[in-house]
Amino acid sequence: MTSDRFDALDDLIAAAGAGAGESPETRRLRRVRWERAIGAACAAFAVAGFLTEVVASSILVADSGPRALAIVWPVSGVVLLVLARIQGRFVDRHARLPVLTGLCIVYAVLFGLVLALFAGDVPTVVPAALAALLGDQMNFLLPVVVGALAGDVFTAGQGASVFPRLARWGLGGQVAGLLVGAVAPFLLDRIDATTSWLLVAPPLLLLVVAAVVPGMLRDASTSEGHQRAETSSESFRSTLEFVRELPAFRWLLLLSFFAIAAGTALEFGFLDVLQAEYADAADLQVVFAGTALVGFVISVLLQSFVTPRLLMRGSVGRALGALPLVTVVAALVAALGGVAGQVWIVVVGILLWRLPRWGLDPAARHAAYATLPDERRARVALLLDLVPTAVGQVLVPVTLGLAVLVSGNWLAPLVAAAVAGVAVAMARRVDRTWDDTQLSYRLKRRKRIA
């Protein structure tokens, strides 16, 4: 039904003179190619990011305990903030496809340097920490660029159908990365190889994206950039001012800070429980990856049968409020597991948090960002997605300090529940202001054939 509406829209545009001479089937096949190109990039980055995260986190936690992450995560958060500030200067200024290609090549080279450190005499914890930093770039920075690219190619009206499918590509890549992370230790053990060899895959995937995706999008309408010379400070100030003038996005920024901070505390508590239960890095990696794998399988089902209906029949603003609400419940369940000393209860709590985080929130945010002007989209996404994530990571030592103070692994999820409660209040305001915000002249976009 949705595809039929898109075809009818294209026919009207063609009748008006744009795209004249092309059959509906030709336009449909072109849209499919564009969607596959962006979806493949989503999947490749997801495989690279989650495989890297599993390998690096398992090595660090097994060698030094979860407290090692209390150092790595804040450092990674600071790096993300610095890169967000730098990237905010050029991500909307230059043409989108060259930016994507250049970032892929740069990160592929950095992965090569990490592999060289693993192969050398450097203590394992050093390249593992660097790999964790790169994993965050795959999981948080590059998806922002791809999301902005999707908003260039597809209109907001198509978002209810297209963006959930793109999110499923990402989920599929995450499942693949975690599946490799869960199974590979058994195979590598037979040939007496370490799990660090798995980090050969991410740079190869990045180079494939750089070589293939721009060609598949050669005839797509992608942003050429505003081409204005701006400093990083000017770009940040103008983006923040733009968000402040849009009530729903202003509340969404606050929601993001609290919801993602709560999720970060919850994930840290999960690793704390796993480290207390499993001493070996390979065993910990199997449980960590296996738990995430179950979550992703359920999230794929959610993306397939629930998320599109919610976005097409309900409000995007309401869908954005699902994450903080479920996080409160998930954190309370995880806290109960910590008190009872039952790992499986903590696993249930983590899965509850990850379902909206992976299964609904990405598609809802893509749909929300598609309403933004092309020259603002990537910078706003950086502000609303990347900055809250980085701040959440920087605050990890606070959670650690509280946990050490009371000597209990139940405290991190309890803190997460309290913080998520504040996010719920922000979510209500997003929903109430969403429709009015869509009437703002500041959200006017150029029109295109899709």
Band (48; pLDDT cuts 50, 70, 90): very high
Cβ-based burial of 359 (10 A; exposed 0-12, middle 13-18, buried ≥19): buried
Q: Higher pLDDT residue, 302 or 250?
A: 250
Beta-carbon contacts of residue 301 (< 8 Å; ≥ 6 apart): none
Question: What is the rounded distance in angstroms from the CA atom of residue 72 to the CA atom of residue 366?
Answer: 29
Amino acid in position 331: A
DSSP state of 360: T
pTM over 0.95: no
With a pLDDT cut of 70, the percent of the chain lying above it is 84
d(CA 391, CA 15): 50
Share of the chain above pLDDT 90, in %: 26
Using CA atoms, how far apart are residues 364 and 322, in angstroms rounded to an integer? 10
Mean pLDDT of the 352-378 span: 86
User: By the 8 A CB rule, do 310 and 347 touch?
Assistant: no
Residue with tokens 């901070």, as numbered in its chain: 261
- Poorest-pLDDT segment among 157-171, 368-382, 414-428: 157-171
pLDDT surpasses 70 at 447: no
> 169, 43 in Cβ contact below 8 A?
yes
What would the mean pLDDT of 422-447 be, rounded to a whole number?
86
- Distance, CA of 427 to chain centre: 19
**Would you place residue 137 in the very low, low, confident or very high pLDDT band (cuts 50, 70, 90)?**
confident
Question: Residue 207: its pLDDT value, please?
Answer: 97
The number of angstroms, rounded, from the C-alpha of 286 to the middle of its chain's C-alpha atoms is: 22
Q: Minimal CA–CA distance to 79: which of 393, 377, 385, 378?
A: 393
Averaged over 66-85, what is the pLDDT? 76
**DSSP at 438:** T
SS3 string, 12-33, reads HHHHCCCCCCCCHHHHHHHHHH
- Average pLDDT of 379-392? 87
- pLDDT single digits (tens) 270-281: 877 777 777 666
- What are the two backbone dihedrals, phi and then psi, of residue 66, each rounded to the nearest 5 degrees? -65, -15
Other beta carbons within 10 Å of 304? 14
412 neighbors 262 (Cβ within 8 angstroms) = no
Distance CA 297, CA 301 (A): 7
pLDDT tens profile 173-220: 888 887 887 777 777 777 766 777 888 999 999 999 999 999 999 888
What's the confidence (pLDDT) of residue 253? 95
| Token output for 325 | 């609400």
Between CA 36 and CA 56 the distance in angstroms is 30
- For residue range 209-222, what is the model confidence (pLDDT) as tens digits? 999 999 999 888 88
- Is pLDDT at 329 greater than 50 in this prediction? yes
